[in-house]
Every structure is written in structure tokens, then in C-alpha cells.
Structure 1
Amino acid sequence: MSVGGNARSGRRPGRSGTREAILDAARVRFAEVGFDRASIRSIATAASVDPALVHHYFGTKQELFTAALELPIDPNVVLAQVAAAPLDELGETLIRAVVTVWDSPVGVPAVAAFRTLLASADPALARSFLLEIVLKDVRARVDSPPGTGLKRSVLAASQLAGLLVTRKLLHLDPIASMPVEELAKAVGPTLQRYFTGDLG
């Protein structure tokens, strides 16, 4: 039966039930096979709904992934700024973009979402989010010499994770109260070395 854009498929007892069934199926599927290999069709099948309903409720696969992780902001808000940055300014740009989000009104729920994600008994969703969403394009840009892109991007991710813990979870000064621009100037060069410098 084709349901098109109709939210009432008749297969679930209500709109919220359908939405939650899709989210539950998406979390399982993304954890099992990762973002790239999980298809909207396979998620819809697991949720016993028409694939059109998945698009109706969540739009794109990345929007579904963002909803499944309960992130309060679309990662593309940050990633678009990073993608537009020249390669030799990638480190400072990434720090500036990420910390600005942390310090914004969505920062508290964003940090809480990441804390929940990282504290999960199954790290597969967090790993998929980092490698297949956040770092995917950066990894391709910094893959010089060929084969080093993953190493470079994961080293940068470790720096960002440490900064998140220090600034937003432990509230250690002076990092906790340092202005964004000062933090970008202080930490950005370290990320830049990971991205484009000699790792030997």
C-alpha cells in the first residue's frame, strides 16, 4: 500500500508511535552497519512502515541520523563553515565553529547529547557519527600523503573531545572562560598540525 506523504499509514497506533518506531529502528540500524551502509528502505522495513513515511517525518538520511542521536543542531551548520575554509586555516576554523556552537543557546543540550552518546554502552553510534558525518569530508581534504586522512582527522577529534571535556564538563579555567577567538588562536595550530603537518 502506498502512503505517499500521508502521516497516517494505519500500521501504527498514532503519529508519535510511528515516529518513535522509525527512530528506534534507525538507532539499531545505524549502530549495526554505520551511517553510509544503512538505507532508508532497511530502516523503514525494520520499523514496519513505508519508506515514504521516513522521508515524511525526517527528510534526509542525515536528518534522520541527527534525530536518532537527539542532537539539538544540524551538524551541517558547523560542517558548512569548515568546508568553506581554506586548507591552511582548517584548524582555527574548526575550533571557532565548534566552540561557538557549544557556547550558544543550543550548547547545553548539544553537550548533553554528546555526553549521552559517549557514555552509551555501545559506542557504534558515536563512532559512526564522528567518522561518517563529522570527519568524512575533512578526512578526504587532509589525506596527504595518501592514506593519512583517517589518522589526521581522528587525532584532531581527540583534541576536540579533550577541549569539550575541559571547557564544558569540567569547567577548568582559563580554558572554560577563554573567549572563542583566543581559544581558536591557541588550539587551532595544534589541529592544523594534525591536519597538514608532519606526523612523524
Structure 2
Amino acid sequence: MTQTRQRRGPGRRPGTSGTREAIVRAAQQSFAERGYTATTIRGVATAADVDPALVLQFFGSKDGLFDAALRVDPPTRPLLALVQESDADVLGERLLRRYLELWETPGTGARLLAVVRGSAASPSASAMVAAFMSEEVMLPLARAIGADHAELRANLTGAHLLGIATARYVLRVEPLASLDRERLVAIQAPVVQRHLTGDLG
């Protein structure tokens, strides 16, 4: 026999640790599967088995929840590790290949798609994505490059990669969407490499 679950009052669940983490995980899944617009505080609370008031207590709003979902274990983290491990003269190829692999991996691909779609769905979400990209991706990339105009190079690289991903995985523009990944790497890696270390003219 199924017992009816009593509605919890506001506040942390007694005796339960990791409540905030559970909310973030539920939010990441909802944003990935349902998108920014369809994700609600109540829906995330239900998935995390907490009262909606607790979600608001931790994050303040859906925007705050989106920001937390973006920054906790970000899907772009493997890119930064790759930058630190690669020689400068092969960085463009390795960075592009790993970036495409992330988009084509079900878990990280869904989160990256949620980020791109979320940024288009809300001005506040767009501002948060821009801040995240600057603080967590672009600036570390610029420091790792160690070349002249490093910040500009990082921004050019990020914009180029995002453009490829948007056309290939979000808008699914053909023939780019179905182009073999290694063929795409062969075509575009020299462009990425030029942004990173080449002559900017």
C-alpha cells in the first residue's frame, strides 16, 4: 500500500544532507530536458523532493537556479584541462575535437544545448551565460594561451566554436549537421589555431 507523502513546510529537510546539491542536480536535468522556459521552481522542487520555498531560499529565483545549474560541474571543464595539457601548436585541433565530442556525448550535449537555448530564451539568462563564459572559460583560456591579445584571441575562439555548435547541433544546418566529425576538424582546426596563436592581421 502506498502511503501519501505529507507536504513539507518551508526550510531544509530535517536530518538530510546535500539538499542544495539535490536541487541543483534536479535543475540541471530539467533545464537540459525541458529547456529554460518550461522549467519551473515547483517542478524542480518536486523532482528534488523539497518544498518550493526551500528552492527560493537557496537560489532566490529561477534565474538564480539557472546560474547555479550552469556553474556547478560545468560541461566546459574538460576544455580547460585540455588547454593546460596541450602544446600551443596543436591546441586548435585538440580543442575543436574535444568540443565537438562534448556536444555529441548525451549528458554534456544536453547541458550545452540547454545553455544555448536558455541564453536565447531570457535576457537575464543570456547575461548569466555571458558572465559564465567570460569568467569560467574565456579568461582562463586567455591566460593559458600566453600570446599577444590573449583575451581577444579567447573571445574569437569562443565565438567561432559557439557558431559551429549552433549551426551543427542547435539549428542543424545541412550539410554541416551531418558532416563527419573528423572531416569538420580537418577543415576548421586551422581556423581555430589561427585565432589562438596566428597572425591576427
Q: Same fold (TM over 0.5)?
A: yes
Q: 1:68 to 1:75 in 2, by over 3 A?
A: same
1:1-200, aligned counterparts within 5 Å? 12=11, 14=13, 15=19, 16=50, 17-24=53-60, 28=64, 67-69=68-70, 74-106=75-107, 107-122=109-124, 123-145=126-148, 148-200=149-201
RMSD: 2.9
Q: CA deviation at 1:125?
A: 1.0
Q: CA deviation at 1:172?
A: 1.6
CA distance in 1, matches of 2:189, 2:56: 40
Q: 1:23 to 1:114 in 2, by over 3 A?
A: farther
Q: CA deviation at 1:77?
A: 2.8
Q: Which amino acid aligns with 1:113?
A: V
Q: CA deviation at 1:105?
A: 1.1
Q: 1:133 to 1:173 in 2, by over 3 A?
A: same
Q: CA deviation at 1:94?
A: 1.4
Contact map agreement 1:73 1:110 (CA 8 A) in 2: no
**Structure (1/2) with the larger helix percentage:** 2
Q: Which amino acid aligns with 2:121?
A: A
- 3-state secondary structure, aligned to 1:135: helix
Which runs of 5 or more residues in structure 1 are unaligned? 1-9, 29-63
Query: TM-score normalised to the size of structure 1?
Result: 0.65
Q: CA deviation at 1:93?
A: 1.3
Q: 1:119 to 1:189 in 2, by over 3 A?
A: farther
- 3-state secondary structure, aligned to 2:60: helix
Which runs of 5 or more residues in structure 2 are unaligned? 1-8, 14-18, 20-49
Contact map agreement 1:156 1:194 (CA 8 A) in 2: yes
Residue identity over aligned pairs, in percent, reads 29
